[in-house]
Chains A and B, each alone.
Chain A
Amino acid sequence: DGGITQSPKYLFRKEGQNVTLSCEQNLNHDAMYWYRQDPGQGLRLIYYSQIVNDFQKGDIAEGYSVSREKKESFPLTVTSAQKNPTAFYLCASGRLGEQYFGPGTRLTVT
């Protein structure tokens, strides 16, 4: 089955801890994206990568970091510097502008 997987589905952390969210795709897409969604709001772009070993900041990159060492993988680290990390995190991959989303990770930081 081709698709995008994200793990874990739910994640709970204490303030001050870094946490890494996994995103893997086997669709052979060059581009991958990370978004966050807050209740009642649209999606906001955190980081994106159009090719292996290259990535760009999105609109709300502060407090986040990424890597793109393999075409299939684009992990997101939420650092302790992110002031409001509790959110629904969505990974997407795509080409020609079309983006396809994974199931998401709900992160709760207390």
Chain B
Amino acid sequence: QKEVEQNSGPLSVPEGAIASLNCTYSDRGSQSFFWYRQYSGKSPELIMFIYSNGDKEDGRFTAQLNKASQYVSLLIRDSQPSDSATYLCAVNRSGNTGKLIFGQGTTLQVKP
């Protein structure tokens, strides 16, 4: 079992729809969860982080965390073609080392 699992996709949604990206993790001691966006050929960019169970909203992005189910998701409302990218889920390793474990990423395609 991978420590952080994501469906590689591609996930294809029409412009204006809600894109839902999912991630599961295996370490129950993990406390911090991050979503990065990576455009093709570029480096990852931090777009959201969440530490507590529930939802956290930032503009068109909502991160959702359920520690009991070891599940974190990212919702993108009103998806735009510019949102087309690979989204990486990252989870901190327990023990507060600052080390992150990354999933393989989900490729999102937003079609005009």
B26-45 vs A, Cβ < 8 Å mask (1 yes, 0 no): 00000110101000001111
Nearest B residue (CB) for A45: B99
Given contact pairs A42-B88, A42-B103, A42-B105, A97 touches B44 in the complex (Cβ within 8 A): no
Q: Are A48 and B43 in contact (CB under 8 A)?
A: no
Q: Which B residues, 5 to 46, have Cβ-Cβ distances below 8 Å to chain A?
A: 8, 31-32, 34, 36, 42-46
B32 contacts A101, CB within 8 Å?
A: no
- With beta carbons under 8 angstroms apart, the residue of A58, A90, A98, A100 that contacts B99 is A58
CB-based contact A101/B43 at 8 Å: yes
Interface size on B, residues (CB 8 A): 23
Q: How far is the CA of A101 from the CA of B102 in the complex (A)?
A: 14
Residues facing A in B55-112 (CB within 8 A) are: 88, 90, 92, 97-100, 102-105
A85 surroundings in chain B (CB, below 8 A): none
Q: Contact between B88 and A48 (Cβ–Cβ < 8 Å)?
A: no
Interface readout for A24-41 with B: 1 if CB under 8 Å, 0 if not?
000000010101000011
Q: Which residue of B lies closest to A101 (CB)?
A: B43
CB-based contact A98/B43 at 8 Å: no
* A100/B46 in contact, CB under 8 A: yes
| Interface set of A (CB-CB < 8 Å, partner B) | 31, 33, 35, 40-45, 48, 50, 58, 90, 94-104
Nearest first, the 7 A-B pairs at minimum CB distance are A42-B102, A101-B43, A97-B32, A42-B104, A43-B102, A104-B43, A97-B92
